[in-house]
Amino acid sequence: MSVHRLEVFVRNRSLFAVSAVAAAAILLAGCGSSDPEPDASADALCAAAAPSGSASEAVTVEGETGEESTATFEFPLEVGELQSSVVTEGEGDPVESGDLVSYALTAYSAETGEELGTLGYEGAEILPAQISADNPIGQIVGCATPGTRVVAAFPASDTNGAEVYVFDLLSVVPDAAWGEEQEPVEGMPDVTLDDDGAPTVTIPDAEAPTEVEIAELKVGDGATVESGDTVLVHYAGVKWSDGEVFDSSWDRDTPATFTTTGVVAGFQQALEGQTVGSQVLVVIPPEFGYGDSEGNELQDETLVFVVDILGTQHAVAAE
């Protein structure tokens, strides 16, 4: 998939699609792993980065990491195999398998030197993605440190010409809300967090509310979630009636992703207008939950969610 199509496609996809599409050329080059048990070891992630080569080393990059780059090279550039060369080394601790990372890229045609597009530099363009030795991002940067910039050269495929990517590993994103803690709201459920940030919810001894009630437990400093955005969240949902957990991304050890308009009305209200890094507590009566879902086991339940907002990807406006 070329970056022309990638630029539109990536903004409307889930976390998992974004991860694959943003480095689609790696998959086209045959570097994806078929191992059903991905290797999470540090050594494996470090070894996953493609080696440097004559094509990636022939590219000169101007611009600071974290900003759109300008790459120049003699073209057509011959790319026989996937190559990755470090332009700028970052600082801090190396990324680890399973980390959520933010990233950005600029892509060029290896045949003509033409810039094909950029992603990730404007904010809220790409969701954070998990890195591992078995996915494309890990195969670009390995166990690099945040702030690292690499040039990756991809050979031609059956559908696309050879391409050059300037890829910036921007940061490691926490997998739990990091915003400023807020005072609890009287009458709302009590929330306690374990060492990983997973919540436990205690329902008050009171009648369930009849309207959606929302409280910010933490207020983040990131982008504002807009209607139609695709969000990356950790969440736990319990029933007001008995405090039983009925769904939790924490139990799956993987954040969830969906559009704000693809969830029940009360959950949508809890997301839109909040900022990335925030933790939100919402109480959703049946009318704003699954009240219209005949036969759903949650049809008559008032639901309580604790939602950690880890990322948002703005929807593309219709032209």
Q: What distance in Å separates the CA atoms of residue 199 and residue 279, rounded to the nearest whole number?
A: 10
Q: Locate tokens 């590993």: which residue?
A: 169
Residue 76 carries which DSSP code? S
How far is CA 49 from its chain centroid? Answer: 20
pTM comes to: 0.85
The residue type found at 128 is P
pLDDT 10s per residue in the chain (319 long)? 333 323 332 333 222 233 333 343 333 333 333 444 556 667 899 999 999 999 999 999 999 999 999 999 999 999 999 899 999 999 999 999 999 999 999 999 999 999 999 999 998 999 999 999 988 899 899 999 999 999 999 999 888 899 999 999 999 999 999 999 999 999 999 999 999 999 999 999 999 999 999 999 999 999 999 999 999 999 999 999 999 999 999 999 999 999 999 999 999 999 999 999 999 999 999 999 999 998 899 999 999 999 999 999 998 765 5
DSSP lists the bridge partners of residue 168 as 104, 149
Instruction: Write the CB contacts of 110 (distance below 8 Å, at least 6 apart in sequence).
Output: 55, 73, 75, 76, 77, 78, 79, 153, 154, 156, 161, 162, 163, 164
Cα–Cα dist 222/193, whole Å: 21
CA–CA separation, 16 and 205 (whole Å): 40
Give 67's Cβ-side CA count (13 Å radius): 5
